[in-house]
Amino acid sequence: MAGRHTDARFEYGSRKKLTPQDIADMFNDYAEDYEQEYLNIGLRSHIVVGDFMAKTVPEEDRSKVKVLDVGAGTGLLGNELKNLGFTHIDALDPAEKMLDVSRRRNIYQRLICAFMNKNRNDDIDTDYYDYIVASAAFNEGLVPSEAFQEMIRIVKPGGRITFTVPTKFINNSDDLRNRLRPLIDQMAREGVWEVTSVALEDGELSYTHGPGTMFSLKVLVSEKIF
């Protein structure tokens, strides 16, 4: 495999030593090969999220709602949503070349090159999206637990943040291991959101990622600082 930081493509723990720019460089360097490499390991987290969205959003409403695909990459999840009838989908990803690949698919209305973290992105209005989705994005160096602060701000009250996370991703990340579930539970107790969680068995996310969880957080407030 050619490119920078190739060891960190599948060895997620090795990403701890990388800077955000290193992470973006890593994804940029294998943007053209990303889909094939991950489909070769049976990646299907995008299908899991798409299936949940199809069950949650009535077919007649799918062309009306605004969706943000976080860690959109080359557009696997976006394409899944498009095929289900969602038409207003934006993409956010820190790797410009990954977004360049997704641009060819004509899925997204807007491409935003940025990390999702707790920092306010002034290019996105408060209470703008009906749904935020992410598949395989909550992992070391990409989307941290603190990103919920910004996600809450940009999703409308009554909207949802839906994402998958393999258990091994949580165990390999100090942040996710120590903060993800406690923060989800704390925000539920404080009335920030209502939690739906679905346990996923080995093989439901990919051949190699092991078991995990799909979370869907129905947000009840406009903003929450933590």
Q: What is the pLDDT along the chain (226 residues), one digit of tens a residue?
A: 567 877 767 677 788 888 999 999 989 998 999 888 888 999 999 999 999 999 999 999 999 999 999 999 999 999 999 999 999 999 999 999 999 999 999 999 999 999 999 999 999 999 999 999 999 899 988 999 999 999 999 999 999 999 999 999 999 899 999 999 999 999 999 999 999 999 999 999 999 999 999 999 999 999 999 8
CA 119 to chain centre: 16
What is the C-alpha R_g of the chain?
A: 16
The answer to whether the Cα torsion of 109, 118, 70, 192 is positive or negative is: negative
Which of 134, 164, 170, 168 lies closest to 150 in space, CA to CA? 134
Whats the size of the chain, residue-wise?
226
User: pTM score > 0.75 for this model?
Assistant: yes
